[in-house]
Amino acid sequence: MQGLWRTGWQVPLVMLAVAALGVAKPTTVPAPGTINYIEGQVALNGQALPVNSAGSALLETNQLLDTGQGKAELLLTPGVFFRLGDNSEVRMVSPGLADTRVELLKGSGMLEVTELFKENDLGVLVDGANAKINKKGLYDFNADEPQVSVLDGQATVYEGDAHVTLKKGHEALLANGQALKSQKLNEGAVETDPLYRWSSLRSQYEAEANINTAQTVVVNGGWYGPGWYWNPFWGFYSFLPGDGILYSPFGYGFYSPGFVWRVPHHYHYPVAGVRGFRTAPPVAHTAPMMAPHMGSMGGFHGGGGHR
């Protein structure tokens, strides 16, 4: 996959093309559990989902999302993506913005957390254990061979009366009768896993959709605050932070509209993080210029903005 570059003459063309498409403005903010992308065989509560259901189908409390030979991406809180691998099943436990939990019942799942606030209570249940996400990062879950792995970030796993805090590069096995403990994970095995590679690609697409969406907001207006914005060109929701730039655990940048309102001679978007799940270093940029009609953009606290 080639690096993401935009030359000085390409940026206006991209902005004009995307501006012509516009950004759809649904009447409600997409709730946690919104199905953002599907590939292959995916079913919601036993009903097969067509590809064009992305962005509208919703996994509600106690409903099940299953994959056969397919994969799916769920939106949780703004900036948080849960991705389901082949032959896997997830249940929505709690879709609240301040209490967001899913349960992996079968197969594999991966959680990408680009934005997390102290008000968020974000968790993934596996085999009776609850993994509470403490920091931004990348988390891998397996229900067939029960385990929780922290590729980047930090999580605390609760199982019965026991708990353990996992730091970056560590995992906990959840086998019956085995004491709950932190152990070093095999990074090489994770990096070759199909769900990891698919998640990395989805993160790159999300980053590309982000810059298109941010440019559209700058050109056309329509800024309602940080959160999810529908991108009709890509056919899924993209994430816009409230200010500056955030980096995904894979090393891709998510830009705010205020950040892209400038006139550099080129854009340079970061490539994937290096081996070992280390985030790619930030790229030097010229100082952002704020769009006159947008005003200042404060930090985002507690969920999607208002449409």
Asked whether the beta carbons of 165 and 135 are under 8 A apart, the reply is no
pLDDT of 223: 87
pLDDT tier for residue 282 given thresholds of 50, 70 and 90: very low
If you ran DSSP here, which 8-state letter would residue 130 be given?
E
pLDDT, tens digit, 9 for 90 and up, residues 234-262? 999 999 999 889 999 999 999 999 888 76
Assessment of whether the complete model's pTM goes beyond 0.85? no
**Minimum mean pLDDT range among 14-23, 166-175, 185-194:** 14-23
Alpha-carbon gap, residue 167 to 202, rounded angstroms: 24
pLDDT cut 90: percent of the chain above it: 63
Domain ranges of the chain: 34-194
CATH-assigned architecture of domain 34-194: Sandwich (2.60)
Provide the 10 A C-beta neighbour count for residue 14. 15
What value, to the nearest 5°, has the Cα angle with vertex 109 and ends 104 and 112?
120
Across the chain, mean pLDDT equals 80
Q: Is pLDDT at 17 greater than 80 in this prediction?
A: no
pLDDT, tens digit, 9 for 90 and up, residues 192-201? 899 999 999 9
**Minimum mean pLDDT range among 16-25, 53-62, 95-104, 190-199:** 16-25
pLDDT, tens digit, 9 for 90 and up, residues 136-153? 999 999 999 999 999 999
Helix (H, G, I), strand (E, B) or coil at 191: helix
pLDDT, tens digit, 9 for 90 and up, residues 75-117? 999 999 999 999 999 999 999 999 999 999 999 999 999 999 9
